[in-house]
Amino acid sequence: MHTKNLNTRLREMEVKLQPSEFSALGLTGEHHISGGGDGSRSGNDINTLHGTYQYLKSTGQNTLKETQIQNDDNNLNNTKRAQVDIILFNRVPKVGSQSLMVLMNKLGKINNYIARRDSGKSHETIILDKHAQKEFAINITTSITPPFAYSQHIAYVNFTKLQMPRPIYINLVRDPIERIISWHYYIRAPWYYEDLKRKLGDKAPSMPDETFMNMDFDTCVKTGDIHCQFPQEEKTNLAGDHRRQTLFFCGQNRKRCLPFNSKGALQRAKRTVEKEYAVVGTWEDTNITLAVLEAYIPKFFRHARTAYYLGHDILSKVNRNKFKKSASMEVKELLQKNFTREIEFYEFCKQRLYRQYAAISEQYGQDEDYILVPDDDN
């Protein structure tokens, strides 16, 4: 697909920004400005990033001066510190990672790189011993000729300490409560076990009994079922539900990173994101995530928005679980008390993503072809 056609298609798909994006830029609904009265798009229409940036400047809300933006971009852009053209997506479970992997496969054909993932397993090994970490790093950096993108459920591995060339780390995060609800119904969907059977054959786990499969999340929490207990500082996690989003960023240190909702894991995860990750996005802010990926890692994510929305029907259905139910606000509020630091980490990642988005606003604010399209509800 030629660039001219991509830009033309993107123009055809221009629609209004969603509330989450206005919030990221300090805007509310009362500030919304539509196009010209004749239905045409004004050059300063706030529905484009150019218009948004110009509007922020006109109202004084854009407090970042050019030098501040440039400095912030330099501090936030870890892509330039990579030593090899390899994307390592150490994907967190239940954050919409399947959609991003499908997108990278599409972009690989457009931007001329290979996208691969690990083979499926019945149980993921998130933390490795030192020998396995070294083996993992060697396999990543020598198995395929760069550029390529690789995806796996694994906690952050420090390639520098292993004296291996540093890849470009990316990841996604999701609201911790919504993640745990999604996981609850994911492992209770019949197709989950059918899929494992197809992939693993006799090694696949058997489908649990009806009591387990039919238990809704609210009942699980209120009855104190072992799968819905979230003890603070717990290391064992008998439920095996990937409740620790911070673990994937904290790294391979069992003592510091395994305790659930701990201050130590939170602080270490924050530092790792700041120093090691090019982009940590979220599908809860689809447009912002795609914009930042395009700007910070163009070799891999050029035309990401176009590819995403041209294939939106497919990408929006990836791994969608029709068996998932809504949880009550009462239960969600109850769980927030147990996920305080996990929530803090999630908010930290979103704030960093917004800062990256603000840092590229000056650059793309002059480009009227830089158009945003609506968020996907993953």
pLDDT per residue over 58-99, tens digit each?
544 444 444 444 455 567 899 999 999 999 999 999 999 999
Whether 49 contacts 27, CB under 8 Å: no
- Spatial separation of the C-alpha atoms in residues 234 and 349, rounded to whole Å: 23
Name the token pair of 182: 């999604």
Whether 120 contacts 197, CB under 8 Å: no
Length of the chain: 378
- Local structure of 48: helix, strand or coil: strand
Catalytic residue (one of 2, 123, 131, 153) = 153
Condensed to tens digits (0 to 9), the pLDDT of residues 182-196 reads 999 988 988 788 888
What domains are defined for the chain?
3-364 (3.40.50.300)
Name the token pair of 96: 């919409």
Q: Model's pTM, two decimal places?
A: 0.77
Whether 45 contacts 53, CB under 8 Å: no
Name the token pair of 307: 């590819």
223's CB contacts (< 8 A; 6+ apart) are none
Whether 353 contacts 285, CB under 8 Å: yes
Is 153 an active-site residue? yes
E strand intervals along 218-316: 277-281
Name the token pair of 285: 């802010």
Instruction: Identify the DSSP state of 96.
Output: S
Name the token pair of 174: 């999701």
Condensed to tens digits (0 to 9), the pLDDT of residues 225-259 reads 988 999 999 887 766 668 899 999 999 999 999 99
What are the φ/ψ torsions at residue 341 (nearest 5 degrees)?
Answer: -80, -30
Q: Which H helix or E strand runs over 220?
A: helix 217-222
Q: Taking residues 174-182, what's their average pLDDT?
A: 94
Which residue type does 156 have? Y
- Whether residue 27 is predicted with pLDDT greater than 60 in this model: the reply is no
Stronger pLDDT, 203 or 263, i.e. the higher one: 263
What are the φ/ψ torsions at residue 167 (nearest 5 degrees)?
Answer: -85, 180
> 28 falls in which pLDDT band (50, 70, 90)?
very low
- Local structure of 25: helix, strand or coil: coil
Average pLDDT, the chain: 79
Which residue type does 155 have? A
Name the token pair of 123: 């149980």
- Spatial separation of the C-alpha atoms in residues 293 and 144, rounded to whole Å: 23
- Whether residue 145 is predicted with pLDDT greater than 80 in this model: the reply is yes
pLDDT at position 198: 85
